[in-house]
Structure 1
Amino acid sequence: MKYASIGPIAIHLPERVETNEQLQAEFPQWDMNLIAAKTGIEQRHVAAEGECASDLGVKAALRLFEEHGVDPKSIDFLLFCTQTPDYPLPTTACLIQERLGLPTSCGALDFNLGCSGYIYGLAMADGLIRSGVARRVLFITAETYSKYIAADDRSIRTIFGDGAAATLVEASDKQELYGFQFGTDGSGANTLLATEGGARPAEDAIQPRHRKRWSSRLYMDGPSLISFTVGAIPQLIENILAAAAMDRQQLDLYLFHQATRKMLEQLQERLELDEARMPIELSQYGNTVSATIPILIHDLRKRGRLEAHRKHVMVGFGVGWSWGGCIWRDPHGSKSYVSAD
């Protein structure tokens, strides 16, 4: 039997950079020092008008192909995770297949998940490879939440950034991903939502959990999301370790969705970890939703932070509510996949 292996990762970020200093100049009444202390974010990338998630994803994939010598014709399945698709239909993954020149024998699908999406995608890729359906899966995560955010929305404009990551998931003789565990609680759907543009009439749409203070199409109840995360994730880790027949002493790094510094610091406290074992790396990107974990891995690889044959736990959590995690036994470490840039 073959198993999924996380190969090279390439990222693409929009050209436009929006710094805290620029936001302070635009809105002098905002306390950007306080906001930065809570979020840990100094800048974020913002897609241009007319620049969509597929555009970011295609550029990340082309960079992956070029920098790591990947032949597009060798891809036999495409997974595309986004909550900001180009259209309700057709499936954005079909458009990406054509733009990248992937073979017409390639399967392609979108799936709509946010901050847990990278874990779900790895699990699907692992299933495709184990079943023999695919040997090389191109897994793209791309998000443009900025399309849903009003310019004067202090609560979320300072948090979310746009970006994409392309991960090559390849068949391996050794199992590198295991202990997958997932969770879903739809009662939290009203804490992070954008209900316009779907088929359900506005009068029947899910209502925000609390008063909607901003005109953004996107609504977020940050305190409720933090409470959910801090409550659910420690138990999730215990479940993952039990499924993998491991204990915490066998783990090297905790690779978590990069939501905000405040949320991650609360998790650090609950799990009794420091930043050396649970990296926080969102100051230059913001919260890029499903792309945060592959961006984190990409950056840790570039800085030589991942040692070969170590075991890490990866965890995503957020909108839905949805959460998931797994163990990653990394046989390669940083050196194998560092690009020339």
Structure 2
Amino acid sequence: MKAVIQDIGYYLPPKVETNEYLVDEMGLSWTADDIFKKTGIKQRHVVEDECASDLGVSAAEELFNRNKGLREQIDYLIFCSQSSDYVLPATACVLQKTLGLSKYCAAIDINQGCSGFIYGLSLAKGLIESCVATNVLLITAETYTKYIQKMDKSTRTIFGDGATATWISSCNSEDEYIGSFVLGTDGRGAENLIVHNRGARIDREVEDNHLFMDGPEIFQFTLITIPKLVKNILAKGNMTIDDIDYFVFHQANAFILKHLCTKLKVPKEKFCLDLENTGNIVSASIPLALQRAIERNEVKRGMKIMLVGFGVGYSWGGCIVKL
């Protein structure tokens, strides 16, 4: 048995904050165009009263509407989020009930950020190819904007909210549709993208409980780590950059992505840049960008696509998939 990505549903909350809105509300000296030039983002979708599970339900229902009978076939649910509804129970258990999935469906949460889709996909591949599951539903849903301080322009201009639901299934084939993974962690970078005092550990030296991001440190980490990651992914698949048809990296911001594209010498037409109207939606960014590339006909069946996630943790990972 081999694992394959069958389809991806997604959902973006209806409320939109444009650059013009942020400039006016925050009283910024930047213009809307300044924000776009710095980030590559013109607007971001943000939640009002919705929680991550609400977004995940909407993404999954879109997927189910396109794939009749799939709901009853899901036998493993993975919910990836760093903004889960509860400390306990697992939000995946709540989603099992809300989505009407079988009682014989396993349901787990994983707390992972910008590399979350890659980690979830690696789990799905392992579950399917070891015959633990047949149809895995991987939901990534984030509401990072709930953690953002209203006047923090460095984070509020970048992050948005959204969710995706990816169906990964088994297939009788000798072809490898989801290739080998390269994964990594460096917890020394944990303090550079963190929300203090929202969990059980209280840091009495830090009173803030909003999202803190050290942008320059994350940029340096990315430029050092990701080219090595790409090299290792290619080596595992015995490939070169020229063998890859399309590249979908975590949509962090345009500044980082353009630097990576140049450093890796990837042709611009093969490198996905799709965050202008969504912002950085963390674990949901890769599957959203991939599905939208499919809808634009930039990604077609049989193409070799490199997926790369990186960020909070520090955590990173990647693989090559074929649809």
* 1:159 matched residue in structure 2: 158
Contact 2:241 2:266 in 1 (8 A): no
Alpha-carbon distance in 1 for matches of 2:29, 2:245: 39
Query: How far apart are residue 216 of structure 1 and its match?
Result: 6.2
Matches within 5 A, 1:167-206: 167-172=166-171, 173=173, 174-203=175-204
- AA paired with 2:121? L
2: CA distance, partners of 1:117 / 1:70? 27
Amino acid paired to 2:311: G
Q: Which amino acid aligns with 2:192?
A: T
Q: Deviations over 1:36-59 (max 9, x none)?
A: 10100000000013x100000011
Give yes or no for contact 1:30–1:154 (8 Å, CA) kept in 2.
no
Structure 2 counterparts to residues 20-169 of structure 1, below 5 A: 20-31=19-30, 32-49=32-49, 51-169=50-168
In 2, the alpha carbon distance for the partners of 1:281 and 1:292 equals 9
239-248 or 261-270, which deviates more: 239-248
1:318 equivalent to 2:311? Answer yes
Gaps of 5+ in 1: 331-341
Number of equivalenced pairs: 320
**Partner SS state of residue 203, structure 1:** coil
- Alpha-carbon offset, residue 241 of structure 1: 1.1
Give the TM-score normalised by the residue count of structure 1: 0.91
Note the C-alpha offset of 1:203: 2.6
- TM-score with structure 2 length normalisation? 0.96
Please tell me the residue identity of whatever aligns with 2:272. P
Q: Which amino acid aligns with 2:203?
A: A
Q: Distance in 2 between matches of 1:30 and 1:260?
A: 20
Aligned-residue CA RMSD in angstroms?
Answer: 1.4
Q: 1 CA distance for matches of 2:3 and 2:243?
A: 21
Aligned partner letter, 1:103: S
CA drift of 1:30 comes to: 3.4
CA distance in 2, matches of 1:93, 1:41: 31
Moved more, 271-280 or 151-160: 271-280
**Structure 2 gap segments, 5+ residues each:** none
Shift of 1:35: 1.9
Once the 2 structures are TM-superposed, how far is the Cα of residue 14 of structure 1 from its aligned partner?
A: 0.6
- Letter of the 1:319 partner, please give it: V
The percent identity for this pair of structures is: 46
Partners of 2:15 and 2:256 lie apart in 1 by: 26
Report the Cα offset of residue 260 of structure 1. Answer: 0.3
Give the whole-Å Cα distance in 1 for the aligned partners of 2:156 and 2:285: 17
Quote the Cα distance in structure 1 between the aligned partners of 2:320 and 2:137: 20
Counterpart for residue 236 of structure 1: 229
Distance 1:144 1:138, change over 3 A: same
Q: Is the 8 A contact 2:78 2:92 kept in 1?
A: yes
